[in-house]
Amino acid sequence: MKYMNAEAVFPKRLLNELQQYVQGDWIYIPTMKGSRKAWGELSGSRNALRSRNEDIRLQFAGGQSIEQLSSQFGLAYDTIKKIVYSKG
C-alpha cells in the first residue's frame, strides 16, 4: 500500500465531496470485490502446484507407492496421501 495525494487521483468534485467527511486524515480504500486475484494466480504458483499434484496422482495410479512419491517430491507421507486421495 502506498501513499497517494488525493488531489492527484480524484476529480475535484469527488475530492470536495470526500472533504465533507474527512480532512487531513488517512483513508483506506479497499479493492473492488472480485477484482482481487487468488493466491498464486499472478506468479503461476497455483498452476505449478496443480500440475505437480496431477503428476503425483498419475504416478500413484501407475503403481508408485506413497513412500516412493514422498521421497521423490520431498513431501511428507501425509501430504502425498492427501493429494492422492483427494478428488483433485
Angle of the 66-73 helix axis to the 77-85 helix axis, nearest 10: 110
The C-alpha cell at 6 is 488525493
**Residue at 30 is within a domain:** no
**Residue at 33 is within a domain:** no
Domain count, the chain: 1
Cα separation of 21 and 44, whole Å?
A: 41
Across the chain, mean pLDDT equals 90
How confident is the model over 52-61, as a mean pLDDT?
Answer: 97
Higher pLDDT, 26 or 63: 63
> What's the confidence (pLDDT) of residue 43?
86
**Residue at 35 is within a domain:** no
Residues 6 or more apart whose Cβ sits within 8 Å of residue 22: none
Cα separation of 22 and 3, whole Å?
A: 16
- Residue-number span of the structural domain to which 16 is assigned: 6-25+41-85
What pLDDT, in 10s, does the model give residues 4-31?
Answer: 889 999 999 999 999 999 988 888 888 7
**Residue at 60 is within a domain:** yes
**Residue at 31 is within a domain:** no
